[in-house]
């Protein structure tokens, strides 16, 4: 018996890329880099470019735009006056194309910074894209939306590698309750994100407060108590912490400040471990302990008012009326959660689920508007965001990689990159390797090594894999993250990193809430309410770093900048990924900081995110940190109010300990220049 011969199965996109995701792409990495096209591009009449170029520094990375900085001696200012340094000046270097993005003059030297042509083009596309019928997660994958942005570029046809283009990625559990899917009793409950004017201490409920309130009520409602017990739990959380999962005593609670952390109040209910509470700062654990005491005491004392039950049965603060003042707010929150009257069990048949919109999620390009602006028709209120910034934001949300190598765009997870065959196996005895340096820390979820080597001996571009051996705890596979070198030097610096864990797609809807939160982490100060001060400081050409619609308030007053004496600072509260602008006209001087996709290197209280140093035209130095992206190259001249980056997600990185904010340090340098108090009272840009 014979059978028909089956046609061979076509390999999938992922299989085609194995075992090597990135082919060797060694432009700008050899010892002899061809600069002929660069010389021709910058050459002018009577100008000897070959003798004038003093250095060409290359920085290739998978975390932003690769750049080429050309230092030219222009003593007679012939190049400066030639008209060559025009908008969109493009040059070819070793087979790759770069666009001039900034020119800086220092004495007789010109520093010309070029970046990837493809990234430059993506930055020019910035019209908001918000079309619920075409961009909803039910209709399109994250990778497909990113490819849409790539294909929108008309000036060049951008090559791309996206292995899982059409694969629907797993969606994470609810951020409000990780066990919601298995909780058959109350899984239909939840305060919806459109919370209809709910307030906490007179201020609109923030997203963090909504999530914490849901967690508290999830724990309480699972025990089927009377509605009033749920109301009392929220009254308590409002009074004690404003429903914020605090990690330290509230300001003014001096009687509780102690060097012994077990004696300090923490969490939503401000529990103290020394007094027998779990004080775990896990909202569900602390709420469970709260209800353990509240429910039996409330049942035994049905005629006591709410504040007395809370005070006498659980908190023992001696101030029952302090809780009573928040009863109306708590009632509204519990009603929004879904318990209308009676007990939780009785309310089950009355409540229509409002919190199960797991796929109601939009992919978009743009800066979401405030809640007020969202009431406008169409896309009213949406701010501009470049395609490149949108792509990086979308990739960061799930910790995938979005980068260019040799003109090809890659959108890929670190897991897939690690399936590639290592392009080199090295140790400190490998020929051409000068040193391999790093710090081993078991507590870090990511790690990096810095390799110093001879460029002629290195052939692994950013995004490729190397194998480290004979280096103890550093043995294993690493992703090449960045390659820095001067084309006139034999030596290069390579940074390699361990992979990032892939995050699932967010559970909940993401539109309509991005700019409605309110910072509650400290004292507030909002000079925008004083028109005379706004007018006064507009005249001197400075503004605050967060635009209107994203600025909540001044979260922390004047304080020192850790490791940077002479830079008193203010923390400006805002939402994650909010725009950050130049507070004064000036020049971006340098960068520093830490990858915001990695955990805070010193924990929640330490540094986090990228940093930017801005030299104002007045002579004042400004230091920004906790940034997710930096959109202006070093040497770029910026105007006051011009976008320089976005705010990182401190809440996510710190596990809810630290609210989102931009730390702005100010060093005036001499009297008469803007100082920190000027910034406090400066206008908020539109």
Round to whole Å and give the CA distance between 492 and 484: 6
User: Has residue 433 been placed in a domain?
Assistant: no
59-63, 268-272, 294-298, 367-371: least confidently modelled range: 367-371
Give the whole-angstrom CA distance, residue 676 versus residue 284.
40
The CATH number of residue 341's host domain is: 1.10.530
Residues 386, 255 share a domain? no
**Best CA proximity match to 283, nearest among 189, 213, 204:** 213
Together in a domain, 262 and 115: no
The domain of 617 spans 527-680
In the predicted structure, residue 256 carries a pLDDT above the cut 70:
no
Measured distance CA(384)–CA(90) in Å, rounded: 25
User: Considering the domain boundaries, does residue 449 fall inside one?
Assistant: no
CATH number, residue 627: 2.70.70.10
Mean pLDDT over residues 410-422, rounded?
81
Q: Residues 202, 325: one domain?
A: yes
Q: Rg of the chain over CA atoms, in angstroms?
A: 28
327-337 and 227-241 helices cross at what angle (nearest 10)?
Answer: 120
Co-location of 85 and 185 in the same domain: no
- Find tokens 């060409």 and name the residue: 56
Claim to verify: residue 294 and residue 321 sit in the same structural domain: yes
Would you say residue 362 has pLDDT above 90?
A: no
Please say if the pLDDT value at position 183 is more than 50. Answer: no
Predicted pLDDT of residue 552: 59
- Residue 458 phi/psi, 5-degree rounding, is -115, 125
- Identify whether 430 is part of a domain: no
Give the model's pLDDT for residue 617.
84
Give the number of domains in the chain. Answer: 4
Do 316 and 396 sit in the same domain of this protein? no
pLDDT at 540 exceeding the cut of 90: no
Q: Among the ranges 134-143, 179-188, 247-256, which has the highest mean pLDDT value?
A: 134-143
Provide the pLDDT confidence category of residue 311 given band limits of 50, 70 and 90: very high
- The rounded mean pLDDT for the chain is 75
Q: What is the pLDDT of residue 325?
A: 93
Please indicate, yes or no, whether residues 211 and 284 belong to a single structural domain of this protein.
yes
pLDDT in tens, 520-538: 223 333 333 333 333 333 3
Q: What is the pLDDT of residue 576?
A: 80
Locus of tokens 């029952």? 320
**Residues 313, 371 within the same domain:** no
Domain assignment present for residue 434? The answer is no
Q: What's the confidence (pLDDT) of residue 54?
A: 86
pLDDT over 90 at 665, yes or no: yes
Q: Is residue 106 part of a domain?
A: yes
Asked if residue 8 belongs to a domain, the reply is: no
631 in the same domain as 537? yes
The string of pLDDT tens digits covering residues 94-108 is 778 888 888 888 888
Whether residue 509 is contained in a domain is answered as: no
Q: Which helix (H) or strand (E) holds 646?
A: strand 643-647
266 and 337 part of one domain = yes
Q: Which of the four pLDDT bands, split at 50, 70 and 90, describes residue 164?
A: confident
| Confidence band of 326 (pLDDT split at 50, 70, 90) | very high
pLDDT greater than 50 at residue 6: no
H-type helices in 185-246, by residue range? 207-221, 227-241
Residue whose entry in the numeric block shows the structure tokens 């040193």: 435
pTM, full prediction? 0.49
Residue 405 has which token pair?
A: 């190598």
Q: What is the pLDDT of residues 484-495, one digit of tens each?
A: 888 788 888 888
Q: Are residues 59 and 139 located together in one domain of the fold?
A: no
Q: Does 257 share its domain with 388?
A: no
In a domain, 423, yes or no: no
Of 80, 60, 56, give the one whose Cα is nearest residue 69. 56
pLDDT of amino acid 145: 94
Burial of 64: CB neighbours in 10 Å, binned 0-12, 13-18, 19+: buried
Q: What is the pLDDT of residues 454-509, one digit of tens each?
A: 876 677 788 888 888 888 878 888 888 888 888 788 888 888 887 766 666 766 56
């Amino acid at each position: 018996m014979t059978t028909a011969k089956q046609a061979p199965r076509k390999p999938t996109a992922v299989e085609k890329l194995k075992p090597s995701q990135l082919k060797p792409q060694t432009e700008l990495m050899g010892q002899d880099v061809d600069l002929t096209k660069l010389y021709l591009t910058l050459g002018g009449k009577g100008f000897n470019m070959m003798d004038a170029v003093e250095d060409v520094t290359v920085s290739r990375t998978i975390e932003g735009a690769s750049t080429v900085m050309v230092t030219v001696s222009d003593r007679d200012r012939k190049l400066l006056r030639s008209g060559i340094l025009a908008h969109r000046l493009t040059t070819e270097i070793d087979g790759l194309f770069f666009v001039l993005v900034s020119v800086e003059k220092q004495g007789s030297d010109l520093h010309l910074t070029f970046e990837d042509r493809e990234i430059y083009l993506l930055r020019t596309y910035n019209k908001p894209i918000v079309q619920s019928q075409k961009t909803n997660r039910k209709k399109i994958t994250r990778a497909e939306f990113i490819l849409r942005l790539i294909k929108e570029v008309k000036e060049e046809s951008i090559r791309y590698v996206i292995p899982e283009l059409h694969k629907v990625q797993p969606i994470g559990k609810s951020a409000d309750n990780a066990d919601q899917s298995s909780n058959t009793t109350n899984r239909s409950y939840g305060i919806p994100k459109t919370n209809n004017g709910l307030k906490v201490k007179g201020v609109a409920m923030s997203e963090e407060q909504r999530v914490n309130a849901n967690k508290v009520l999830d724990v309480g409602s699972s025990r089927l108590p009377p509605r009033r017990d749920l109301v009392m739990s929220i009254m308590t959380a409002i009074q004690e912490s404003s429903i914020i999962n605090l990690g330290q005593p509230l300001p003014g609670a001096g009687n509780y400040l102690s060097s012994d952390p077990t004696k300090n109040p923490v969490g939503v209910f401000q529990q103290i471990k020394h007094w027998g509470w779990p004080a775990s700062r896990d909202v569900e654990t602390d709420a469970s302990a709260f209800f353990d005491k509240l429910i039996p005491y409330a049942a035994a004392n049905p005629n006591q008012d709410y504040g007395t039950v809370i005070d006498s049965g659980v908190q023992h603060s001696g101030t029952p009326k302090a809780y009573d003042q928040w009863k109306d707010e708590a009632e509204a929150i519990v009603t929004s959660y879904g318990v209308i009257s009676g007990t939780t069990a009785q309310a089950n048949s009355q409540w229509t689920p409002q919190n199960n919109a797991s796929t109601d999620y939009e992919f978009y390009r743009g800066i979401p508007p405030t809640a007020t602006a969202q009431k406008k028709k169409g896309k009213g209120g949406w701010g501009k965001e470049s395609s490149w910034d949108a792509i990086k934001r979308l990739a960061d949300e799930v910790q995938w990689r979005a980068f260019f190598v040799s003109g090809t765009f890659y959108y890929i997870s670190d897991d897939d990159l690690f399936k590639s065959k290592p392009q080199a196996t090295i140790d400190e005895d490998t020929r051409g390797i000068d040193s391999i340096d790093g710090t081993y820390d078991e507590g870090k979820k990511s790690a990096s090594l810095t390799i110093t080597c001879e460029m002629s001996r290195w052939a692994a571009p950013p995004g490729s894999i190397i194998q480290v051996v004979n280096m103890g705890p550093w043995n294993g596979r690493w992703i090449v993250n960045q390659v820095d070198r001067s084309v006139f030097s034999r030596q290069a610096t390579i940074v390699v990193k361990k992979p990032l864990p892939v995050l699932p797609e967010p559970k909940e809807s993401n539109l309509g809430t991005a700019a409605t939160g309110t910072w509650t982490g400290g004292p507030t100060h909002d000079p925008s309410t004083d028109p005379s001060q706004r007018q006064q400081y507009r005249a001197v050409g400075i503004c605050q770093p967060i635009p209107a619609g994203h600025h909540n308030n001044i979260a922390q007053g004047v304080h020192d900048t850790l490791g940077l004496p002479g830079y008193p600072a203010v923390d400006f509260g805002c939402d994650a990924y909010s725009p950050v602008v130049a507070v004064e006209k000036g020049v971006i001087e340098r960068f520093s900081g830490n990858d915001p996709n990695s955990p805070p290197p010193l924990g929640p209280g330490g540094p986090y995110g990228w940093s930017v140093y801005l030299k104002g035209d007045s002579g004042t130095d400004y230091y920004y940190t906790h940034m997710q992206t930096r959109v202006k190259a070093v040497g770029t001249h910026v105007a006051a109010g011009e976008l320089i980056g976005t705010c990182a997600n401190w809440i996510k990185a710190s596990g809810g300990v630290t609210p989102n904010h931009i730390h702005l340090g100010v060093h005036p340098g001499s009297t008469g220049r803007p100082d920190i108090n000027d910034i406090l009272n400066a206008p908020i840009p539109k």
